[in-house]
Structure 1
Amino acid sequence: MKTLRRALDGLYLGCAILAALFLVAMLLIIVAQMVARWTGVTFPGAASYAGYCMASASFLAFANALNRGAHIRVGLLLTAVGRYRRWLELWCFAIGATAAWFLARYAVNLVLWSHQLGDVSQGQDATPLWIPQSAMALGAVVFAIALTDHLLRIIFAGDHGIAAELAGEGSTE
């Protein structure tokens, strides 16, 4: 069980590192676009590439953010329900995991359809859309895994294991 826990935490951290790399790539693209403007050189698709990096960074960071307690939770409500807190958290994680798996399914299908149809961006760069969509789909799948992980932890261990609340720091409410 500890091996699975380490593997899942490693997966979440790996996606967070990828998200950070996409943020750095977005910065470099924006700086390159600025330099290109100053020098009179064209950089077709720069805004699109920066947008792809932003979407990729966002989706890839979801799971790690959940683990670290960075997602907004309704702590006041959870505290107010008292002894029913576990049941409310169970219900919330069940709904969240279900919605996340639907999102992941459709994100993966979007990538497959874009690849099959040869869909490209409408800008001058004509980037095959399945490439930037793949990072988004990966992030959606890992987020669904993370929500399912926390749901199963509540069911079998009685605690969701979100770091910020376990450390006594409280959540961002």
Structure 2
Amino acid sequence: MKALRKALDGLYLAAGALGAMFLLAILCLIVLQMLARWTGQTFPGATDYAGYCMAASSFLTLAYALRRGAHVRVSILLGALGPRRRWGELACTLIGAIVATFFARYAVKATIWSAKLGDVSQGQDATPLWIPQLAMSAGTILLALALWDRLIWIAAGGDPAADAPEGLEP
């Protein structure tokens, strides 16, 4: 079990690091676009690429943020449940896992269909849309996995009030 925990935490961390790299890519794109303007050049598609990087960064970091306890939660409501908090956490996590699983399924389907249909962006770059959609699909799959992971962890007796589940030090 420890090997699986370590592998999942490593996967979440790798996705989080990749998301951070996409944030750095946004910075680089903005700087390159500024340099292009100052030199009288054009950088076609820079805004589109920055948008793709923002989406990739957002989706790829979802599972890592969940594992670290960084998602916004209604802890006041859960705290009001008192000794029934575990049941509230289980119910909320189950609903989240189901919704994330459906979202992941349809994100993957959309990516596959974009590739089949040859969809391209409407900007100057004409990027095949399945390429930036891959990050969304991967991020939603990882979020669903992280939610099912958390659900099993809480059901097995883990402390639902803990910000970072056991074995993961901030």
| Corresponding position of 2:106 | 106
Is the Cα contact below 8 Å between 1:67 and 1:162 reproduced in 2?
A: no
| Corresponding position of 2:3 | 3
Is the Cα contact below 8 Å between 1:86 and 1:154 reproduced in 2?
A: yes
Is the Cα contact below 8 Å between 1:19 and 1:56 reproduced in 2?
A: yes
Is the Cα contact below 8 Å between 1:67 and 1:161 reproduced in 2?
A: no
Instruction: Output the CA distance in 2 between the equivalents of 1:73 and 1:144.
Output: 17
| Corresponding position of 2:54 | 54
Quick check: 157-166 or 139-148, which moved more? 157-166
Count of aligned pairs = 167
Instruction: Output the CA distance in 1 between the equivalents of 2:68 and 2:37.
Output: 40
Superposed displacement of residue 155, structure 1: 1.2
Q: What's the secondary structure of 2:142's corresponding residue?
A: helix
- What does residue range 1-173 of structure 1 map to in structure 2 within 5 Å? 1-160=1-160, 162-164=162-164
Structure 2 gaps of 5+ residues are: none
Superposed displacement of residue 160, structure 1: 4.2
Which letter maps to 1:152? I
Is the Cα contact below 8 Å between 2:19 and 2:60 reproduced in 1?
A: yes
Which letter maps to 1:71? H
Instruction: Output the CA distance in 2 between the equivalents of 1:66 and 1:162.
Output: 12
Which letter maps to 1:123? G
Structure 1 gaps of 5+ residues are: 167-173
Which letter maps to 1:81? L
Is the Cα contact below 8 Å between 1:66 and 1:162 reproduced in 2?
A: no
Superposed displacement of residue 157, structure 1: 2.6
Quick check: 18-27 or 156-165, which moved more? 156-165
Which letter maps to 2:134? S
Superposed displacement of residue 158, structure 1: 3.9
Instruction: Output the CA distance in 2 between the equivalents of 1:19 and 1:58.
Output: 7
Q: What's the secondary structure of 2:156's corresponding residue?
A: helix
Which letter maps to 2:156? F
Instruction: Output the CA distance in 2 between the equivalents of 1:8 and 1:25.
Output: 26
Identical amino acids, percent of aligned pairs:
61
Is the Cα contact below 8 Å between 2:121 and 2:129 reproduced in 1?
A: yes
Runs of 4 or more off by more than 2 Å in structure 1? 157-166
Q: What's the secondary structure of 2:41's corresponding residue?
A: coil
TM-score by length of 1: 0.92
Is the Cα contact below 8 Å between 1:151 and 1:160 reproduced in 2?
A: no
TM-score by length of 2: 0.93
Instruction: Output the CA distance in 1 between the equivalents of 2:45 and 2:59.
Output: 21
Instruction: Output the CA distance in 2 between the equivalents of 1:148 and 1:162.
Output: 17
